[in-house]
Amino acid sequence: MEKFYNPDRAEWPRILNRPQQDFKEIREIVDTVFREVKEGGDQAVLKYTDKFDGVQLQQMRIYAGETTGAGDQLSEALKDAIRQAKRNIEKFHRAQQTEPIHVETQPGVNCWQEKRAIQKVGLYVPGGTAPLFSTVLMLGIPARIAGCSEIVLCTPPRKDGTIHPAILYTAQLCGIEAIYKVGGIQAIAAMTWGTESIPGVYKIFGPGNQFVTLAKQKATQYGVAIDMPAGPSELLVLADETANPDFIAADLLSQAEHGPDSQVILVTTSRDLQDAVENSLYTQLNSLPRQAIAQKAVGNSRSIYVADEKQAMDLVNEYAPEHLIISAKAEDYYLKHLINAGSVFVGPYTPESAGDYASGTNHTLPTHGFTRQYSGVNLDSFLKSITFQRISETGIQEIGNTIETMAAAEGLWAHKNAVSIRLKALEEAIVPQKEDTKE
Amino acid sequence: MEKFYNPDRAEWPRILNRPQQDFKEIREIVDTVFREVKEGGDQAVLKYTDKFDGVQLQQMRIYAGETTGAGDQLSEALKDAIRQAKRNIEKFHRAQQTEPIHVETQPGVNCWQEKRAIQKVGLYVPGGTAPLFSTVLMLGIPARIAGCSEIVLCTPPRKDGTIHPAILYTAQLCGIEAIYKVGGIQAIAAMTWGTESIPGVYKIFGPGNQFVTLAKQKATQYGVAIDMPAGPSELLVLADETANPDFIAADLLSQAEHGPDSQVILVTTSRDLQDAVENSLYTQLNSLPRQAIAQKAVGNSRSIYVADEKQAMDLVNEYAPEHLIISAKAEDYYLKHLINAGSVFVGPYTPESAGDYASGTNHTLPTHGFTRQYSGVNLDSFLKSITFQRISETGIQEIGNTIETMAAAEGLWAHKNAVSIRLKALEEAIVPQKEDTKE
């Protein structure tokens, strides 16, 4: 952990610099897999599942029989925990539902906005070192609340060709039936093109390694939307002398264990806290099972003392962290002036892992500075807005000249004429003067 | 206009097929301009402004002196019209503001969601055959309401090196000061990288030709967000025997005049209307100033009779039109079952041009079938959601075990430990038992 003491602002960009991702080497692999899956469908997907996951599958779709027994393989404590998390996540995402917005902008000119679910969505749940059933909750719950009619879940098979029962149990709990044993680039390509057995979708969600990230970026070139671009996970802790250094160190390590490329940053207005966190961090690190991973991530990390709260806030907004913990007496000031962050954890008893699993907020968040312009996954991620308008006879007479004048000034005469022909008809009373006041 | 009579469903994909865009030839140009602008900054932008727009500029930024006189060059009628449109668009977009969402998911576990403006946004206003000051309203107004702190507007210069006064007047009216005389690929590249005089931005908005479309797609590879992918503009009219064929024909033509690649489609449950619209369309076409353009677009277009409302609705949802006009007695049925459209115009006196200019809705919409998964530009396009949470001492004791159990099951021990260390501290009363109930 590299330490900085009141660095000059000119130094900030260098200090806050994220490890750059170089996709050059893997771009060719992604291109190849996309091309082959487009042409070869299931056969190409199976080939790459064999090649990358080392598993030879006969079929990729999970059938009902495989999921029904999944719950029996889990402890009651784990099932209780998953159900509790589901209730909280549901509550928070259900509260994000919005009513249609109606405005009569001029007499007889009624405009409104309504949301509709994206019909076909793909959820990607990574495999790798941990069975991320929590991601099933984070993507599956809002997709169901939104009312997406076709929800496809892809997750890589384990070496024995199965899916971890916690993932199957959670998917079943969320009402997701279309589960496929396929991961990596070939999963994203399959959901982009559609194959004989895996449906193509309109939008793909979910985290993943750099192969998945690049594959999702490629999918957008073929008209498939994605939730957000992604990079390695990251946490910034903003703390002062009132913070508990052991808690802060534990939070930093919880982020660091995600992967060797994770980045953790402490920004503090207290030199004492800076030292205390460092000591606690190395002590706690020694007792972690994933010590090797966390140690590498800690190597990428920074501890920065700044002289005042204004500088601390500016530094946070410049870094634009995925996760932000605030444990400081000036929390009101920080909450007011915060601009860029994905998910924020306020107060000493709010560890990031609460939001990763169970408090109710979503854990699928923009990283790598993308909180400057992207939201984390939320209910709206599964919806799109449509605008509507109804103009009455009175309405078109009110607004008609405005439209005609503007259309003429833009040289779009047929646009003007679509209004003129209606105004003329009303003037000449060629059309029957029926009331048109519905809205 | 190709006519179809009750086509088989198997035929729909072919009938609804959009002209495909082949970007291969221009991809190399876009790559080159991006590379040169990254390296050469302003000099490269000026070089391509000379090459593509045929204009040699000394500087690109519009200064206050250039805008102050702009209004004097416009008629009072046009300025009145622009101000009226601005009031309506403001009303409708201001109504889209949302309050923060607060939920206590478990006792002591408070989660909330708030929106923040994207700080730096770029608005692209195309040049070409018409001075699209209406686009300035559609992008500038929501950007201002959202509270974006840096709004950059790029629009190509005319041959004489100036910007049309209607664009300058409208920009001034919207409070946009940073206006640059630069268009096409070089404008998008400049807002992606930032140059000596043009600021880089976090998100780029606005329509454009295929060069701009591809450039925006390229910008996303460098971490800049865009409003949506775009293709040629399109209109689908859904009408029955109660519709006025002259109005429908005028609407179809208003879309067709946008460009030779525009697509217009009539879907109707009435054969009589189908014939009447065709007759009216060719009659009206002859009197249009932009007849040549509209005629080509009409050539790409379809008129489809279907036997019933269910089929009509399915066809609309399959096509997923940018603009949809509904002029039919079954409008309630259609509004209820509509899934995919960008902006919808209901009833005989609601021409698409109302929404293009002045009714209040936005005219920057997804095309080419992208209404399946994208919203049109709206207030949220300029905002991002951030989630927050505060967990009290009681709260962590309520939810702690759930988090610990899930973290352990995912093998993420440091995640578990961030909770355990807090629970232990509370049990041992090592930390003072101060109240932590703020939220």
Max CA pair span of chain B? 88
Closest residue to B254, CB basis, from A258, A401, A418: A418
Q: What is the per-residue burial (b if ≥16 Cβ within 10 Å, else e) of A152-173? A: bbbbbbeeeeebbbbbbbbbbb
Higher confidence at residue B330 or residue A257? B330
pLDDT the model gives residue A439: 43
Chain A residues close to B118, C-beta within 8 Å: 372-373
Q: What is the mean pLDDT of residues A416-425?
A: 96
Higher confidence at residue A402 or residue A258? A402
Q: With 0-12 CB in 10 A as exposed, 13-18 as middle and 19+ as buried, what is B8?
A: exposed
pLDDT the model gives residue B439: 44
Higher confidence at residue A43 or residue A231? A43
State the Cα angle at B206 between B202 and B210, rounded to 5°. Answer: 110
Is A331 a known active-site residue? no
DSSP codes of every residue in A270-302: -HHHHHHHHHHHHHHHTT-TTHHHHHHHHHT-E
Answer whether A418's CB lies under 8 Å from B352's CB. Answer: yes
If one counts every other C-beta atom within 10 angstroms of the C-beta of residue B146, the result is 23
ipTM: 0.95
pLDDT the model gives residue B168: 95
The strand pairing partners of A24, in sequence order, are none
If one counts every other C-beta atom within 10 angstroms of the C-beta of residue B160, the result is 6
- The set of long-range contacts for B5-9, using a CB threshold of 8 Å and a minimum separation of 24, is B5/B271, B5/B305, B6/B305, B6/B306, B6/B307, B7/B304, B7/B306
Q: If DSSP codes are grouped into helix, strand and coil, which group holds residue A218?
A: helix
Interface test with B, best of A82, A135, A216, A412 (most B CBs within 10 A): A412
Instruction: Kindly state whether B105 is in contact with chain A, defined as any CB-CB distance less than 8 angstroms.
Output: yes
Asked whether residue A20 carries a pLDDT value surpassing 80, the answer given is: no
By C-alpha distance, which of B202, B193, B208, B329 is closest to B270?
B329
Residue B45 in tokens: 């932008």
Chain B residues close to A103, C-beta within 8 Å: 91-92, 95, 360
Instruction: Kindly state whether A342 is in contact with chain B, defined as any CB-CB distance less than 8 angstroms.
Output: yes
Instruction: Kindly state whether A329 is in contact with chain B, defined as any CB-CB distance less than 8 angstroms.
Output: no
By C-alpha distance, which of B204, B226, B155, B196 is closest to B37?
B196
Q: Tell me the pLDDT tens digit for each residue of B346-388.
A: 999 999 999 999 999 999 999 999 999 999 999 999 999 999 9
Q: Tell me the pLDDT tens digit for each residue of A192-209.
A: 999 999 999 999 999 988
Strands B343-346 and A203-205: unpaired
Residue positions of B annotated with a catalytic role: 322-323
Q: Which of A258, A323, A363, A368 is catalytic?
A: A323
Q: Which amino acid is at B132?
A: L
The strand pairing partners of A117, in sequence order, are A383
Is A322 a known active-site residue? yes
Question: Which H or E element spans position B181?
Answer: strand B178-181
Q: How far is CA B231 from CA B22, B239, B365, B367, B419, in A?
A: 11, 25, 10, 5, 50
Q: Determine whether the interchain pair B111/A246 forms a contact, defined as Cβ–Cβ distance below 8 Å.
A: no
pLDDT the model gives residue B424: 96
pLDDT the model gives residue B232: 86
Residue in the block written with tokens 């299931």: A42
The strand pairing partners of B3, in sequence order, are B303
Chain A residues close to B335, C-beta within 8 Å: 388
Q: Determine whether the interchain pair B353/A415 forms a contact, defined as Cβ–Cβ distance below 8 Å.
A: yes
Residue A348 in tokens: 């000493």
Q: Tell me which chain A residue has its CA closest to the CA of residue B250.
A: A418
Chain B, 109 to 148: residues with Cβ < 8 Å from chain A are 109, 111, 113, 116-120, 129-134
Chain A, 235 to 274: residues with Cβ < 8 Å from chain B are 244, 246-247, 250-251, 253-254, 256-258
Q: Which residue ranges in chain B fall short of pLDDT 50?
A: 431, 433, 438-439
Q: How far is A259 from chain B (nearest CA, A)?
A: 11
Closest residue to A361, CB basis, from B225, B290, B387: B387
d(CA A408, CA A188): 47
Asked whether residue A432 carries a pLDDT value surpassing 60, the answer given is: no
Q: Tell me the pLDDT tens digit for each residue of A125-165.
A: 998 667 899 999 999 999 999 999 999 999 999 999 999 99
pLDDT the model gives residue A430: 52
pLDDT the model gives residue B435: 52
Q: How far is A438 from chain B (nearest CA, A)?
A: 9
Strands A343-346 and A323-327: parallel
Instruction: Kindly state whether A97 is in contact with chain B, defined as any CB-CB distance less than 8 angstroms.
Output: no
Instruction: Kindly state whether B97 is in contact with chain A, defined as any CB-CB distance less than 8 angstroms.
Output: no
If one counts every other C-beta atom within 10 angstroms of the C-beta of residue A83, the result is 12
pLDDT the model gives residue A310: 97
State the Cα angle at A213 between A207 and A218, rounded to 5°. Answer: 135
Q: Tell me the pLDDT tens digit for each residue of A67-90.
A: 778 999 999 999 999 999 999 999
Chain A residues close to B374, C-beta within 8 Å: 225, 384
Residue A110 in tokens: 């009624």
What are the DSSP E strand ranges found in B12-170?
Answer: 101-106, 109-117, 120-124, 150-155
pLDDT the model gives residue A434: 53
Closest residue to A417, CB basis, from B203, B250, B416: B250
